[in-house]
Structure formats: C-alpha cells, structure tokens
Structure 1
Amino acid sequence: MRDRWTADDPEVAAMTTGGTAATRTDVPAARNTLRILSYLAAQRGPVPASTIAAALALPRSTAYRLLGILAEQGFVLHFPEARRYGIGIAAFELSSGFSRQEPIARLGRPILATAVDRIGESAHLAVLHGRDVLYLVEERARRRPSLVTDVGVRLPSHLTASGRAMLAALPAAQLRALFPDRAAFAERGDTGDVHDYAGLRRLLDETRARGYAAEDGAITPGIASVAIAVLDHAGWPAAAIAVTFSRDAVGEERWDTLAGDIRPFAAQLARRISGRSE
C-alpha cells in the first residue's frame, strides 16, 4: 500500500516515484518556500505578505499558505499588528548550526592554501563579528614571519584590510549601527587610525573606488595587507580573504596586481558558500 501522502500529494508522489517529475519541476512548493526564506533573510526588517508575493511573483494565496506553514514551524514570525512577516527562531537555529559546523573555514582552507602557493605571501580568512573581525584560517607562506592574525584572534574591523573589505560591502544603515559614535572606534597607537564615522565613510568610499581594501601598518608597523570581500548570494559580506606582506618587500605600486591575484580565490569561495558549481 502506498503511503497516504504519496497518494494524496502529487509533489510528494513525484519525489517518491523515481524523481523524474521532481527533477523536472524542482518541486514548486519546496522551491517557493526556500525563495520566501531567502527573501526574508535579505530584508532589513519584517515585510508584508503582499510585498513578498509581488517580489517573488507568487499568487497571494500561495504566499499566505506557505507563510502560515513556515510560521507554524517557527521559521517565520508573524507580527499581526504590523501585518508583516520576518525570520523566525527556527531559521536562527539553522544559522547557529551553520556556525557550529564552521563551513566557511572548511570551504576556505584549501582555497587559501592554493592562493598562498601561487601568490607566495601569507594569507588569512576572516569574518565580521560585531565591530571586530574574527580570523578563521591562516596560511603562512614559506620564509614569511608569523603574524598577529592567528586563528581565533579578534581585531577592530575598521583597522584591518579584511574588515574594511567587508564593511565596504555593508549598507549605510548597517554600517552606522555598528559605529554609532566615536567610542566605537578602537585605536592602536599613532597609526593614522580612523577616529569617527565620517572618516570611516571616506575610507570605505576609497575602498569601493579602488576595488579592494588595504591597510598599511595599522596593525603591525612595516606590515601591510590587501583584501577582497567574499559575498554571499544576497550580496552580503560573508568573509574576506587577505594577503599580508612586508611593506619593504611589496611596494604600493604592486598592490593592484596583488588584489587581482586574490580576486579569483574570493570568487571561488563565494561560489562554494552559495552552493553554486565551480
């Protein structure tokens, strides 16, 4: 006897009868459910169901039905007074599982090792953690000195190339929330640090115009870095890859080339994080 769900639901039936129909149609309900979650995750706050339906070209009845199921399971929160929907606790738990499994470090480690072999300078992979950067992977090139950017180290994001690359990819509102006043700007001696939000905005404007982030002696005197942000499917900075080198060995005239060498590795990691084929 067939399971009743297989008999009653053509989408489930397609998945359990060789997968031909599922492969051909990608199971519309499942795909639309994931599209709704992805859309909500990319928003700055809860949004009306009508906006979700319009943005995803879904019938309103379909959007409401799927939002109701997601709300029952805790993946979506309904704010009845505002008539809006946002990401729920169950979705947050999924993200926590993502963090526990350290997939970015696992995916990034072999890419970073290859980058160091080809470029010949030390490199690291970092993520934003509040106003800090957290270093997940470090690959040291042969005959290069040890750095302060060891795995597990946190540093103020606005002082590091990795942090600046990721901050430059954030919306203005998010950036302002991270740096609401001068007290948010940690300093490391007299290194030309950014001291306020206006200075940070100018620095990040320069970073976007240049196409990569750089720092020169802000963390360690005589040591400089260039970095490229790794963007996820929604365009948010999931991580950054940076190469660090002696300022005397690599002059500023070579930084553009070095950033160009890093860019394909950042793009490769972005594809892996987003689940796209190589």
Structure 2
Amino acid sequence: MSSTESSQGGGLEILAKADAVIQALEGQGELTAAAIAVAVDEPMSSTYRLLTNLASIGWVDPGSRRGLFRLGVQFMRIGGRLEDQISVRDAAVPSLKALLASTGATSFLCLRRGTRAVCVERFEGRDVRSLAMSLGDSLPLYLGAAPVALFAHLPDSERGAVIEQLDSSRAADASIPSRAELNRIAEETRVRGYSISDGDVTPGIAAIGAPVFNHRGEIEAALSISGLRALVLSEDRSTIDLVLDAALTSSRALGYLGGEP
C-alpha cells in the first residue's frame, strides 16, 4: 500500500470515529467521555483526543454540567444550512414520479397552510384525469388522503389548535366534522400509519396518503396517490406499501432517521 493510500485509509477511519461520536450525542443529548467511549467502542485516551479535536472545530461543546459533552453550535449551524438547501419538493419529486410509474395513479405532494392542505406538486395519472387538487388548490385537513395524513401527524398542540379553529367554524359550515370525529380520524390514521380517502372528495375515486418527516422527526408534508377505487384500494395491500415506501424515501432525503410511522 502506498503512503497516499495509507493516509486516505487513516482519514476515513477518523471520519468514521467522528461520525460515531456525533451519532451517540445526537441520540442521547449529553454524554460523559466514558459513555461516549463505550458507545463508539474506543479506548478513553482515543475518545478524549477525538473529543478535543471535534471541540476545536465547534462540532462538540461542553455540556450543561462538568464532564458532559453535547453537539456543538457550529455543527448545528451546518445542519441548519443543509436543511435550508434541501426543499421538501426536491426530496419528494423522485418518489412521486416512481409512484406514478409503478401504479399509474396521480401522485400529489401537499403542505399544510393553517387548517388546509395545499397541493404543491402533482403528476397526472394514466387511467383517469381527476379535477380535484390541481397545483395550488387546497382541501381542509379532514378531507382527502394527503390532508388527513398531515392532520393526523401534527404535534398534539398544533392538532388541538386546528381542531379548535375548525370547531369554531362549524356553526357556519355544517360539513365540518365534530370535535370527537376529528379526534377519531386523527387517531385511526396515526395507528394505521397512512390515510385512506374513499370517494369523499370525488365519487368513485380513492386515495392513499402518508406523512413525510424532516430530520427532527416532525411532519413536513404528505404525499398521496389518487385514482379509480379498484386501482388504488387493492386487496393485497401492495399500493399501500408503495405509498409508505415513497413517503419514507422522501423523509430519508430530508434527513429523517426513524422508521415507518
């Protein structure tokens, strides 16, 4: 092995060890050097040297108490800049195109705007042209597959605020579900991990939606497919699995490290 190859190998090994430290701190928040050494399977002396080097470039900072370490401010800033550069649309478009290719159904990407979900991307299906949810159109969060997937996976406080807003509008719009019904819709969807719309937006048209999460595990968007009921709601669950896989792939592109919801 040449000296150049040896140097490259050593550099990759150091990067791998640094990554292991970052992963340990990300998962636990704050750790002692001894706990980090155990987590990354390195001797204490090597761990201290690594922590010292990472601290010198701002990737690791002292923790809230003496002897503790946490992720550094500079590392957080880098992560924030990367997040800003990755749009949810860019992350989801490959999955939306793959869904269209594999199912023939129209695929959608929706973002939340208040108590509604707005369509920000759409790829037209081959079998039927739906007039619902063109680009820029919106639906209430309780209606349709992508909107309900968004609604169900909001943090409790945000979902509660949405329910309060909708409930206060029921006197003027009798089509809005009751508070109890909204909670039931959200709970059932979260337990399932995906949403189903069966003719509630357009008669004869069904849809399946799933949440897209960001690197913090927060709901960022929802994607869905829509088409003829017989096409979308297959008995073998294959279409559901395709939608869930597409949502997870999109989430991974945003830095999400968890599993399926």
Category of TM-score, reference length = shorter chain:
0.5 to 0.7
Displacement, 1:226? 1.4
Percent identical pairs in the alignment equals: 18
The answer to whether structure 1 residue 183 and structure 2 residue 168 are counterparts is no
Shift in CA distance, 266/193, structure 1 to aligned 2, threshold 3 Å: same
State the number of aligned residues. Answer: 246
Q: Which amino acid letter does the alignment assign opposite residue 256 of structure 1?
A: R
Deviation at 1:92, TM superposition (A): 2.7
Indicate if the aligned counterparts of 2:224 and 2:243 stay in contact, CA closer than 8 A: yes
TM-score by length of 2: 0.63
What is the TM-score when the length of structure 1 is the normalising length? 0.60
1:74 is displaced (CA, Å) by 2.4
For CA contacts below 8 A with separation 6 or more, give which structure has more relative contact order.
2
> Which residue of the partner structure matches residue 259 of structure 2?
none
Q: Does 1:38 align with 2:23?
A: yes
Give the unaligned 5+ runs of structure 2. Answer: 256-261
> Deviation at 1:109?
1.9
Secondary structure at 1:226's aligned position in 2? strand
- State how 1:75-154 maps to structure 2 within 5 Å: 75-81=59-65, 83-102=67-86, 105-125=89-109, 137-142=121-126, 143-148=128-133, 150=135
Q: How many angstroms apart in 2 are the aligned matches of 1:122 and 1:245? A: 6
1:214 to 191, 196, 199: 196
Match of 1:74, SS?
A: coil
- Distance, in Å, in 1 between the alignment partners of 2:132 and 2:3 is 56
237, 241, 244: which one aligns with 2:226: 244
Aligned residues of 2:233 and 2:239 also touching (Cα < 8 A) = no
Distance 1:38 1:155 in 2: 39
- Residue number in structure 1 paired with 2:240: 259
How far is the alpha carbon of 1:57 from its aligned partner?
Answer: 2.2
Contact 2:33 2:48 (C-alpha < 8 Å) held by counterparts: yes
Cα distance change, pair 96–256 in 1 and its aligned pair in 2 (3 A): same
Identify the match of residue 226 of structure 1 among 194, 208, 211.
208
Is the alpha carbon distance of 1:97 and 1:234 closer, same or farther for their aligned partners in structure 2, counting shifts above 3 Å?
closer
The letter for the 1-side match of 2:108 is H
Change (3 A) 1:228 1:144: same
Is the 1:140–1:146 Cα contact (8 Å) retained in structure 2? no
- 1:29 to 1:251, Cα distance in 2 relative to 1, 3 A: closer
Q: Give the CA deviation at 1:95.
A: 2.6
Any gaps of 5 or more consecutive residues in structure 1?
Answer: 1-13
**Does the aligned pair in 2 maintain the 1:33–1:66 contact within 8 Å?**
yes
What SS is found at the alignment partner of 2:209?
A: strand
State yes or no: 1:19 paired with 2:8: no
Between the aligned partners of 2:140 and 2:145, the Cα distance in structure 1 is 11
Amino acid at match of 1:22: Q
Asked whether the 8 Å contact 1:127–1:133 carries over to 2, the reply is: yes
Deviation of 1:242 after TM superposition, in Å, equals 1.9
Amino acid at match of 2:5: G
For residue 243 of structure 2, what is the amino acid of its counterpart?
I
Amino acid at match of 1:213: S
Is the CA contact (8 Å cut-off) linking 1:167 and 1:175 kept in structure 2? no
C-alpha contact (below 8 Å) 1:176/1:197 kept by paired residues: no
